[in-house]
Structure 1
Amino acid sequence: MNLTICLSAAFLILSHAAFCMPIRGQVKAGNKGLSHVVITDGINFTQTDTKGNFLLDTDQEARFVYLLTPDGYVADYRSGTPEFYLPLDPEKEDYIFQLTETGKRSHHILLAIADVQTKTDEQFQRFQTQSIPDLQEMIASYPPATPVTGISLGDIVWDHFEHFPVYKKEMARLKIPFYPVIGNHDHDKEILSDKASAHTYEKYFGPAYYAFQLGKVYCIVLDNILYEGNKKYTEALTEEQIQWVGQLLKYLPENAPILIATHSPFYYADRGIIPGGEELFGILKNHPVSLISGHTHLNSNHEIKPGIIEHNIGAICGTWWTADENRDGTPNGYDVFEITGSEIEWFYKSVGHERNWQFKVFPRGTVKEKPNSVIAKVWNWDKKWQVKWYEDGAAKGAMQRFNGYDPDYLEYVGRLKTEKYTQPQESFFYFEATPSEKAREIEIEVTDRFGHIFPRQKVVLLPDK
């Protein structure tokens, strides 16, 4: 009996050794070794010692060794993406990570763009000449000492991988670390395996799930696209990633704010939370959680569970570079998250407009179903916003919210033959007010959940006598 147990134990030890590749390495900033940096291969974890050295048994299926980029440091991003990872090589045992010290700050900015999704050179030119300059202006609007980071929430390209290197070249122009997320169109449609279909993405951007730190906030990037080949996929989280997050949390402070970035949203109104989502939220129950995603080419901010807000961000390409709006009427744009300590505020930045441009007003008669109403479109609205109206200077209270279609996008679709996937999408962020017959002027005032009051917009109904 004892002999059997001993043989079984020996077999397990030998099996583990056969399926693991031990590696060693160091994390440095200049000549200084960095302690307590979290190292992973996507399955196993370790931390650096006081001199920045580490040992890690890597899994046989692991393709990278990488680190959780610690606060106050950044990996080289001159290529257009932060190189916080190193490919695993059976012939190599030593892995050296060189970080740059940026200094710890209490205030951070995160720019979150979704669905660049270029397929043609003409589309990429719009990204290059419209989106990139807007991002540059936004970065420059903050004091030079403010750390600004970016993240691209998947569908970096539209199945055309020749745009990966030119995308990286454009992101390098921003001169900030801009992290990637893998989307369904970033997989190789010719390959029928989820992991294998990510090979080109991994060549240019590294692992599909990882983490980095911005002050007190920990940003965790996950891949919730299970690719089946030929553009078919399921939106879900793998058990491997859920377990990885569970292991990662052991290295993070209790109650630390977590920001999860994925391509596809976790929640859909018609089918609820995607597979694996509830399990993930369960292990994150002691942490404040924010979710950011893209994929839908729509914009919303919903509390999908108590204490968990999902920002499903409108596409920077809008309706696939055909118009200046997404299908729901959200202008082409991106989210800006302003992080101060553990607190996060956000706003939507429309490309080509000032940051205070947060709503648009349509005159009476624009919406045929509401011919007597003035309409406001407030694309980043949530339940803590206020939308008020004034008639000839007199306060009239809150406007009435309704579900509707964007008049601008309806007019655009009416002029052109469009694909099925670009058809208008009804949304919830439209508001109406019906002026009196004698009203001469209507003003609309919008206040966001953080108390920011945006410039009033005016509609003249009757000219002055």
Structure 2
Amino acid sequence: MNKLGLTCCFLALALGAAAQGQVTGYVFQDANQNGQRDRGEKGVANVSVSNGIQVVQTDGDGQYILPVGNDNVIFVIKPAGYQAPLDAFNLPKTYYIHKPGGSPASLEYPGVAPTGALPASVDFALEPADESGEFKALVFGDPQAYTKEEMEFFAKGIVSEVAGIRNVAFGISLGDLVGDVLSLHPDYKQAVAKIGIPWYNLMGNHDMNYDVTADSLADETYEANFGPANYAFDYGNAHFIVLDDILYPDPRDGNGYWGGFRKDQLDFVENDLRFVDKNKLVVLAFHIPLDHRNGDTFRPEDRQRLFDLLRDFPHTLSLSAHMHTQTQHFYTREDGWQQDKPHHEYNVGTTSGDWYSGQLNKQGVPDATMRDGTPNGYAFLHIADNQYRLEYKVAGEPADYQINVFNPKVVAQGQRTRAGIFANFFMGHHGNTVEYRVDDGEWRRMTPVQSADPAYLALVHPWDNSDELIPGRRPTDAVASTHVWRAAIPTNLAIGTHTVEVRATDDYGNTFTQTSTYRIEQAK
């Protein structure tokens, strides 16, 4: 499309937006990597650029034109085959904040300083990159440090384990980067910068400005530190859409927050998807899970509109965090999903685990096992073309540690017992097959149960039964886990030690095993 056609195409938008102007600029190949568009540097055509609502594509010269008001973040949607320059913290430089008057001065945590008038041209640099269609990304749930000490726990227990990691395209944190103390955002950025790969972020409910009266202002400090709270980018054959899904103040009563989206956010999704090939894998990332089965935690009409917008995209995945548990959600037509194949949402276990609670582990950080028995850790998203698989890595443990087995240490020979063998398959759901055997015997299926993990209860009980204070913070009360299985423990075997082996197969055909032992003694 030539410049005249591009201008005519968006003239109605510009004229129809009262008290609005327009922003124009170029997306260009930054040949000398100085971040500025110099003479002779070519524009990049057909690249999407957005003001947070409208999305347009650059013309043959790499130019775009967008409506702009007095509170916009203009950003380029990084196309596949290109990389954006990174700042000192390895955060992509893909946006320009336009707030002539700045953020409200009354905020407890500062927002954006006044930006003044728009430059004549707001340009975005890109560099060609050899992006494979097969890659993996690193995924963090809720670092959520409330203090500098907890930020050190995050750096020591998580970041140090992946610092310098190779063959990972980028990382993303799924919100709650800090715990309400927004002055810790720079400390968080310094921590993740040590990983050494491009890093994306999204806003959680503990990253917000709570001293505002409109949801559109709740991200002022986040924007100052990280840029837009809603944006998108491509890598390989995958299209990532990152969204703020916290409505604050809660539109129902003005108290607290509610999961959901504003209309302008879903308008952005709709406008963005118009330029996305339906053969791509669409990965959505947000903080609060979409699930409605755990109570009224997400505005249903927003979830439905999102599902409607994705109805023609057969390859999709959602990533969320927030819950400090780990769950696989599958949405069907009964949930409003518009396709026969269910939509998968992976609610990722958190890096902070159970809010840095529990006794110090061998890494010198709190054990922080989550309420459903999942140890704290992080995830890998593996993508090949438009297909994906997911992997969870327990912090401080080998990669194949995927199951925790809990059983009594000793039972009486020949006596009935209500004790059992419990297996917590961290990445599992009750559609998976989990089996056990004793002493290399016959494999038998375990029974899925909706119950607290007794191994987690064993971590909590010392805090309530100790005669002396235990250093640290008591873990949170247990919740019913969605990935626990049970089997009766055999007592009709010979006196002595016996080995329990559990195996579980995930949704991607991977089989994992874990063992435990127990003793049989003569009844007393």
Normalising by structure 2, report the TM-score.
Answer: 0.79
Choose 12-21 or 119-128, whichever is displaced more: 12-21
Query: Residue 378 and residue 47 in structure 1: after superposition, are their counterparts in 2 closer, same or farther (change >3 A)?
Result: same
**Is the 1:78–1:175 contact (alpha carbons within 8 Å) kept by the matching residues of 2?**
no
When residues 124 and 294 of structure 1 are mapped into structure 2, their CA distance, relative to the original with a 3 A threshold, is same
In 1: Cα distance, 2:284 partner to 2:435 partner? 33
After superposition, the Cα gap between the structure-2 partners of 1:155 and 1:14, relative to the gap in structure 1 and judged at 3 Å, is closer
Q: Is the 8 A contact 2:43 2:60 kept in 1?
A: yes
Q: Distance in 2 between matches of 1:173 and 1:155?
A: 19
1:131 is aligned to 158
Matching residue of 1:267: 291
Taking a change above 3 Å as real, the CA distance of residues 374 and 173 of structure 1, as seen in their structure-2 partners, is same
Which runs of no fewer than 5 residues in structure 2 stay unpaired? 1-10, 32-40, 99-115, 333-340, 359-367, 465-471
After superposition, the Cα gap between the structure-2 partners of 1:186 and 1:402, relative to the gap in structure 1 and judged at 3 Å, is: same
- Give how far 1:11 is off: 12
Taking the aligned partners of 2:50 and 2:441, their CA distance within structure 1 comes to: 61
Q: How far apart, CA to CA, are the structure 1 residues paired with 2:277 and 2:149?
A: 46
For the pair 1:376 / 2:423, whether they are aligned, the reply is yes
Q: How is 1:247-396 mapped onto 2 (pairs within 5 angstroms)?
A: 247-271=271-295, 274-275=299-300, 276-287=302-313, 288-305=315-332, 306-323=341-358, 324-364=368-408, 371-396=418-443
On the 8 A contact 1:108/1:148 being kept in 2, the answer is yes
Give the Cα–Cα distance (whole angstroms) in 1 for the partners of residues 418 and 18 of structure 2: 74
Deviation at 1:415, TM superposition (A): 3.2
* Cα distance between partner residues in 2 of 1:99 and 1:442: 55
* Aligned counterpart in structure 2 of residue 209 of structure 1, from 209, 223, 230: 230
How far does residue 294 in structure 1 lie from its aligned partner after superposition? Answer: 0.6
In structure 1, what is the equivalent of residue 24 of structure 2? 23
Match of 2:34 in 1: none
Corresponding residue for residue 504 of structure 2:
446
2:481 pairs with 1:424: no
Structure 2: distance between partners of 1:400 and 1:236 = 35
Compared CA separation, residues 395 and 170, structure 1 to 2 (3 A):
same
The 1-side partners of 2:437 and 2:42 are apart by 62
**2:467 counterpart residue number:** none
Per-residue CA distance 1:353-403 (angstroms, 9 max, x = gap): 122110111123699x97431111112102442211112212232111112
**Could you tell me whether the CA contact under 8 Å between 1:184 and 1:231 is conserved in 2?**
no
SS in 1 for 2:126: strand
- Kept after mapping to 1: 8 A contact 2:142/2:174: yes
Q: Does 1:67 align with 2:111?
A: no
Q: Is the 2:258–2:299 Cα contact (8 Å) retained in structure 1?
A: no
Partner of 1:143 in structure 2? none
Mapping for residues 69-84 of structure 1, pairs under 5 Å: 69-80=78-89, 81-84=91-94
Q: Which residue of 1 aligns with 2:517?
A: 459
Question: Cα distance, 1:428 vs. partner?
Answer: 2.4
What amino acid is the match of 1:75? Answer: A
Q: Which residue of 1 aligns with 2:365?
A: none
Kindly, what percent of the aligned residue pairs are identical?
A: 27
Q: Which moved more, 1:417-426 or 1:333-342?
A: 417-426
One-letter code of the match for 2:484? Y
Contact 1:43 1:62 in 2 (8 A): no
Q: Is the 8 A contact 1:153 1:182 kept in 2?
A: yes
What SS class does the counterpart of residue 219 from structure 2 fall into?
Answer: helix
CA distance in structure 1 between the partners assigned to 2:43 and 2:430 by the alignment: 48
Q: Please say if 1:115 is aligned against 2:125.
A: no
Shift of residue 414, structure 1, vs aligned partner: 2.7
The one-letter amino acid paired with 2:439 is D
Alignment match, 2:132: 105
Count of residue pairs the alignment pairs up: 446
CA distance in 1, matches of 2:223, 2:346: 26
* Deviations 1:208-243, CA, capped at 9 Å, x for gaps: 100011211111011110112998211111111111
Q: Which amino acid aligns with 2:271?
A: Q
Q: Is the 1:364–1:373 contact (alpha carbons within 8 Å) kept by the matching residues of 2?
A: yes
Q: CA deviation at 1:258?
A: 0.8
- Tell me the distance in 2 between the aligned counterparts of 1:232 and 1:195: 15
- Alpha-carbon shift at residue 192 of structure 1 (Å): 2.3
CA shift for structure 1 position 12: 10
Is residue 13–residue 67 contact of structure 2 (8 Å, CA) maintained in 1? no
Q: Which moved more, 1:126-135 or 1:371-380?
A: 371-380
Deviation, 1:91, is: 3.5
1:14: Cα distance to partner? 5.5
In 1, the alpha carbon distance for the partners of 2:329 and 2:388 equals 15
Residue equivalent to 2:488? 434
**Residues 450, 384 of structure 1: alpha-carbon distance in 2 compared, 3 angstrom cutoff:** farther
Contact 2:429–2:482, Cα closer than 8 Å, also in 1: no
The corresponding residue for 2:200 is 179
Does the 8 A contact of 1:403 with 1:426 survive in 2? Answer: yes
Contact map agreement 2:174 2:320 (CA 8 A) in 1: yes
Report the Cα offset of residue 87 of structure 1.
1.5
Q: Which amino acid aligns with 2:92?
A: P
Map residues 136-155 of structure 1 onto 2, 5 A cutoff: 136=163, 139-140=165-166, 146-155=167-176
Counterpart amino acid of residue 423 in structure 1: D
**Larger CA deviation: 196-205 vs 409-418:** 409-418
| Partner secondary structure for residue 267 of structure 1 | coil
> Which of 181, 190, 196 in structure 1 is aligned with 2:211?
190
Measured at CA, do residues 461 and 294 of structure 1 come closer, stay the same or move farther in structure 2, by a change above 3 Å?
A: same
Q: 1:366–1:407: 8 Å Cα contact kept in structure 2?
A: no
Q: CA deviation at 1:461?
A: 3.4
Quote the Cα distance in structure 1 between the aligned partners of 2:67 and 2:417.
63
- Distance 1:283-1:152 versus aligned 2 partners, 3 A rule: same
Are the counterparts in 1 of residues 49 and 64 from structure 2 also a CA contact under 8 Å? no
Q: Where does residue 3 of structure 1 map in the other structure?
A: none
SS of corresponding position for 2:346: strand
Q: Specify the alignment match of 2:362 in structure 1.
A: none
Letter in 1 for 2:371: R
Secondary structure class of the residue paired with 2:152: helix
Query: How large is the Cα RMSD of the aligned pairs?
Result: 2.7
Deviates more, 1:411-420 or 1:111-120: 411-420
Note the C-alpha offset of 1:256: 2.2
Cα distance change on mapping 1:69 and 1:366 into 2, 3 Å? farther
273-282 vs 155-164, which moves further: 273-282
| Amino acid aligned to 2:261 | L
Which whole-Å CA distance do the structure 2 matches of 1:116 and 1:57 have between them?
Answer: 35
Take 2:85 and 2:270, find their aligned partners in 1: how far apart are those partners?
A: 28
Which amino acid is the alignment partner of residue 284 of structure 2? I
Distance 1:249 1:223, change over 3 A: same
Q: Does the 8 A contact of 1:365 with 1:374 survive in 2? A: no
Structure 1 unaligned blocks of 5 or more: 1-9, 141-145
